[in-house]
Structure 1
Amino acid sequence: MSEFDHGLVLGKFYPPHAGHHHLVRTAAARCRRLTVLVCASAVESIPLADRVAWMREEHPEVGIEVVGAVDDIPVDVTDPAVWDAHMAIFRAAVPDLVDAVFTSEPYGEELGRRFGATPVTVDVARTTYPVSGTAVRRDPVGCWPYLAAPVRAGLTRRVVVVGAESTGTTTMAEALAEHYRARGGAWAATRWVPEYGRAYSEEKYAELLAVRPEATFDEVTWTSPDFGVIAEHQLADENAAARAGSPVLFCDTDPLATTIWHERYMGTPNPQVESIAARARHHLWLLTDDAGVPFEDDGLRDGEHLRTWMTTRFHEELTRRALPHVLLTGPHEDRLRTAVSAVDALLTPGWQFAAPLPERGRPDVP
């Protein structure tokens, strides 16, 4: 039998980290059911919906409910009127009777009293997981081991390598991943995501060869739905890699590039692929120029005559959409140096989290 009927854990979870998850699991083990209340302010740079989704994914157990609320009231644990304002938000979000409040904060006693519940403190000194929300916002890379998979996926800087056929996108994505893995630490897990469209092309060509062994790749028939499948699978592969990787991820193409490939094969835009591209979150595009790169026909390429057109289309679309991009030219070594410089420029400023609302009356803000 559980010690408590209904427990409560609340916080900003800005962003969630291992200490938060330890608190939730400790509370869940002592309660028949547990509510986790995510409180976010409009000034913060991680949306409430993302934080709620991350916590739900990390705590899918039966008996744990994660809910969210907007709380734009600055914290002052010494002011009863401020407490009253916060409690109105908390009770609106969690109207059911609460008989235990679990915190890792010095204000836990007062929070429990105001809920008419037993206050339970868990690892206030942060000895089990020496991490805090402030520390994560200050140095996400240094705190990377304390971030769960969905949070990593949400924070990872995603760099896309795009280009026409046989312009070295795969070579560049692999080289960049290897370069950043060599930096060690959190970077040692750096990954790159292969182009799913190539695997899909191999499958379609194999199906054709099974019927007509003499067929060539340019006889493969494409339909608009094919490109939706490719884009969706590409994004899923990317998200899976981001969950297990380092603070940077390299992608050999993306759904936006798939919109150009659809145009190349079908001659028109594809609203389905556009909608998939709109869901993606990328931070930098590296465009591999076709100039000076010999075309290598590996049996799955048929567009040598279209390479310059595709390079131009990629550049036009990236420019039209005001997306940060860099053109890679020259031999591979020069391209890699240019790419590393651009990626470093992306990573050096850090994540630039917006400061939370002012908090008074607390010696330490986790």
Structure 2
Amino acid sequence: MNAAARPYRHGLVLGKFYPPHAGHHHLVRTALAQCERLTVLVCAASVESVPLADRVAWMREAHPGAEVVGAVDDHPVDVHDPAVWDAHMAVFRAAVPEPVDAVFTSEAYGTELARRFGAAEVAVDPDRALYPVSGTAVRKDPVGCWPFLGPGVRASLARRVVVLGAESTGTTTLSRALAAHYRARGGVWADTGWVPEYGRAYSEDKLAALRAVEPRADWTDVEFTSEEFPVIARHQDADEQRAAREGSPVLFCDTDSFATAIWHERYLGAPSPEVAAVAALTPRHLYLLTDHEGVPFEDDGLRDGPHLRPWMTGRFREELERTGRRFLMVTGGPEERLRTAVAAVDALLAEGWRFADPLPERR
């Protein structure tokens, strides 16, 4: 439908979007098709655990053609009390002061909301026939509702598991095996992602560039500067974020920006506040630290030697403990390490997702 044929000048979609799901997006798409201009008002109560800014960002990303605004609404929920309605409308009118021609909703309160805006009511799939999902259902069972969630929400909810350790301790082997194990479960788990170590690709390129000038150069000739490590850390985090947006409720990472900070110490001899700041931006839910004991050292041309492994293992453990990160040391052979890791990840997933309850509705 072209803009000239759209029946409404200014439409409104209002909701908590706690969190947004496919039903919400269908509602907005339907409204966009019928309005010359559409405002989406995201209302959040202070007691809710998903920040208003996140919800606004997710809706803006999904619907660039709409104007998405946010408001905090801590008034009680009672659709039968005119005074409560007046309080809510004051919030709504402050956020959307322009005249509204149509209110698009899937809720029973849509009739009264439209009346108070002096607008037409447009009901969209009120029986949830097209998208059998609700915010309540998502909060209760995110895994069961995973197919209805957009990339931003998936990235926010995905449980991130990082495998880290000293050189040649099996981090890549274990992280890839974990991703394969969960993909084999099928369903939503079939899209379980694995994020490779960007620092390794960076190191390969660095050595190749040096050999283009000095063909006989080897890894011992490569030198790093402090400025390179924030670049590596940000690239690693960007790869992780992309994978989280596209994957299942769990994501496996072969290292992360927290580990990059320890590697900075290894090569430069001191911590990097900038890398530490990068690492603090993204929460991870479980770290699996691979022990160097019992794993033979294999020199692949990009490693420094077995003598550094005990120090690296110790530094990883010290920093994991100091910063209060949840972690588990995995030991033994590959099969034992995988069994231990799967048990730890299953325990993490069994804890579920905790959302604060929205304000209760008065009956």
- Which residue number in structure 2 is paired with residue 328 of structure 1? 330
- Which residue number in structure 2 is paired with residue 156 of structure 1? 158
- Which residue number in structure 2 is paired with residue 39 of structure 1? 43
Q: Deviations over 1:131-170 (max 9, x none)?
A: 1111111111111111111111111110011101110001
Which segments of 5 or more consecutive residues in structure 2 lack a partner in the other structure? Answer: none
Backbone CA RMSD of aligned residues: 0.9
Matched, 1:212 2:222: no
Shift of 1:129: 0.8
The CA distance in 1 between the partners of 2:220 and 2:83, in whole Å, is 73
- Map 1:171-210 onto structure 2 (within 5 A): 171-210=173-212
The CA distance in 2 between the partners of 1:54 and 1:332, in whole Å, is 40
Matched, 1:49 2:63: no
Q: Is the 8 A contact 2:299 2:305 kept in 1?
A: no
Q: 1:340 aligns with which of 336, 339, 342?
A: 342
**Percentage identity across paired residues of the two chains:** 71
Q: Deviations over 1:279-298 (max 9, x none)?
A: 11211111001111111000
Which segments of 5 or more consecutive residues in structure 1 lack a partner in the other structure? Answer: 362-366
The CA distance in 1 between the partners of 2:204 and 2:26, in whole Å, is 45
- Which residue number in structure 2 is paired with residue 18 of structure 1? 22
The CA distance in 2 between the partners of 1:282 and 1:54, in whole Å, is 20
Secondary structure at the counterpart of residue 294 of structure 1: coil
Q: Deviations over 1:32-91 (max 9, x none)?
A: 111111111111111111111111111122xx1111111112211111111111111111
Shift of 1:13: 0.4
Q: Which amino acid aligns with 2:325?
A: L
Q: 2:271 aligns with which of 260, 269, 272?
A: 269
Shift of 1:187: 0.7
- Which residue number in structure 2 is paired with residue 294 of structure 1? 296
- Which residue number in structure 2 is paired with residue 109 of structure 1? 111
Matched, 1:143 2:157: no
Shift of 1:103: 0.5
Shift of 1:224: 1.1
The CA distance in 1 between the partners of 2:125 and 2:304, in whole Å, is 61
Q: Is the 8 A contact 2:114 2:120 kept in 1?
A: yes
The CA distance in 2 between the partners of 1:303 and 1:56, in whole Å, is 49
- Which residue number in structure 1 is paired with residue 307 of structure 2? 305
Q: Which amino acid aligns with 1:328?
A: V
The CA distance in 1 between the partners of 2:197 and 2:35, in whole Å, is 46
The CA distance in 1 between the partners of 2:293 and 2:205, in whole Å, is 30
Q: Which amino acid aligns with 1:121?
A: A
- Which residue number in structure 2 is paired with residue 30 of structure 1? 34
- Map 1:79-118 onto structure 2 (within 5 A): 79-118=81-120
Q: Is the 8 A contact 2:21 2:148 kept in 1?
A: yes
Shift of 1:8: 0.8
Q: Which amino acid aligns with 1:200?
A: Y
Shift of 1:304: 2.2
Q: Is the 8 A contact 2:297 2:306 kept in 1?
A: yes
The alignment's TM-score, normalised by the length of structure 2, stands at 0.97
Divergent runs of 4+, >2 A:
none
